[in-house]
Amino acid sequence: MKKVGLKEIAEHVGVSTALVSYVLNGQAIEKQVNKETAEKILSAAEALNYRPNQIAKSLKMRKTHTIGLVVAEINYRFSTGITRAIEGEAKKNNYTVIYGSSNENQEKFAELVNVFINRQVDGLILVPAEHSEEQIRFLQKAEIPFVLVDRNFPDIKTNYITLDNYKAAYKATEYLIATHHRRICMVNYKTTLFNLLERNRGYRDALKDHKIPFKQKWLQSINVEDIPQALDHVLTATDPCDALFFATDTLALHGLKYLNRKKLNVPGDVSVLSFDESDAFELFYTPITHSRQPLEEMGKQAVNTLLELIDHNKISKQISLEADLIIGKSCKES
């Protein structure tokens, strides 16, 4: 059977080989390729049974004992923690980790993935950026070994190591309910990321299961800069919230700064619970109650899953780990 290359796909669709290369390398958005054209190219590649053997073969056959790691934002405590855990486990297996940060940018994410592929890493561990499904599907078609960490896309079956975000948020909300809070506000990002939406779902189901009627204003889906307006909205109402549940440590830090500026006491005026922990919490006058992610275990599982994938080509692992709830003094019993 004649090997199908970029030229054959280009002729089939009626476009240039450069355009085909952009799409098959996950650069369609970066290079501003028309969405309809990109879909035609992907369909043609599949119909013609195109396989990017050169890249896939280099990844599988010529081991470099390196792993490419893409994190979301290097300044996040999660990113530094998971990077440290992955580096430690990789070293035990005689692998070196090279990494970069997507800065929560879809195009930067695709660019880093391509850089690592060109560096001929043996496999990839990825914290995917929002809307990076196209890049993930490209990696699958190219049969490049990769594992997703922290985030996954439920519509794409991949190997992933994540947190059970639903259960962690449910457990945290249940703790607030057990400490007699009844007007609990959830502050989360405005996002389509599945892991963050699962935190919303866990929060709402906990309220429902404990027969606390949900009010729409209690769920604030915002950008970081919207925190002052969001907190004002729920704290100055006629029935103000008695607890603030922040869906990330970054949101919690910005929220605590705002509460300080407003001279609102934690937990005297309002209780605070953070989904994640932050080193900066140690500087706050009250120990913050928070969920703690098992970063060591997550990193270990990610590396071992990837190495198994590299050695045995096709495995299927979808692992959801549990968070611990660390009790501080930021949630008073109302």
CATH level 2 (architecture), domain 165-293? 3-Layer(aba) Sandwich (3.40)
DSSP three-state, residue 182: coil
Asked which of 110-119, 255-264, 292-301 is least confident by mean pLDDT, the reply is 110-119
Q: Which helix (H) or strand (E) holds 133?
A: helix 133-141
Residue 274 has pLDDT above 80, yes or no: yes
Residue 99 has pLDDT above 50, yes or no: yes
Residue 59 has pLDDT above 60, yes or no: no
Check residue 2 and give its pLDDT: 61
Average pLDDT, integer, range 203-231: 97
Check residue 194 and give its pLDDT: 97
Axis crossing angle, helix 6-13 with helix 35-47, rounded to the nearest 10: 120
pLDDT band at residue 52 under the 50/70/90 scheme: low
Q: Is the model more confident about 213 or about 6?
A: 213
Tell me the pLDDT of the chain averaged across its residues.
Answer: 91
Check residue 83 and give its pLDDT: 95
156-185 pLDDT tens trace: 999 999 999 999 999 999 999 999 999 999
Residue 60 has pLDDT above 70, yes or no: no
pLDDT band at residue 57 under the 50/70/90 scheme: very low
Whether residue 82 contacts residue 303, with contact meaning beta carbons closer than 8 Å, is answered with no
126-142 pLDDT tens trace: 999 999 999 999 999 88
Average pLDDT, integer, range 21-34: 79
pLDDT band at residue 62 under the 50/70/90 scheme: low
Q: Is the preceding omega at residue 267 within 30 degrees of 0, hence cis?
A: yes
Question: Residue 213 half-sphere exposure, CB side, CA atoms within 13 Å?
Answer: 1
pLDDT band at residue 45 under the 50/70/90 scheme: confident
Domain with CATH 3.40.50.2300 in the chain: 53-163+295-322, 165-293
Residue 56 has pLDDT above 70, yes or no: no
Q: Which fold has domain 53-163+295-322?
A: Rossmann fold (3.40.50)
Check residue 334 and give its pLDDT: 59
Q: Which helix (H) or strand (E) holds 187?
A: strand 184-189
pLDDT band at residue 54 under the 50/70/90 scheme: very low
pLDDT band at residue 323 under the 50/70/90 scheme: very high
Number of H helices, E strands in the chain: 12, 12
Whether residue 289 contacts residue 276, with contact meaning beta carbons closer than 8 Å, is answered with no
Average pLDDT, integer, range 322-334: 91
Check residue 282 and give its pLDDT: 87
Give me the residue label for tokens 């947190």. Answer: 163
Cα–Cα distance, 148 to 140 (Å, whole number): 12
Asked which of 59-73, 91-105, 194-208, 249-263 is least confident by mean pLDDT, the reply is 59-73
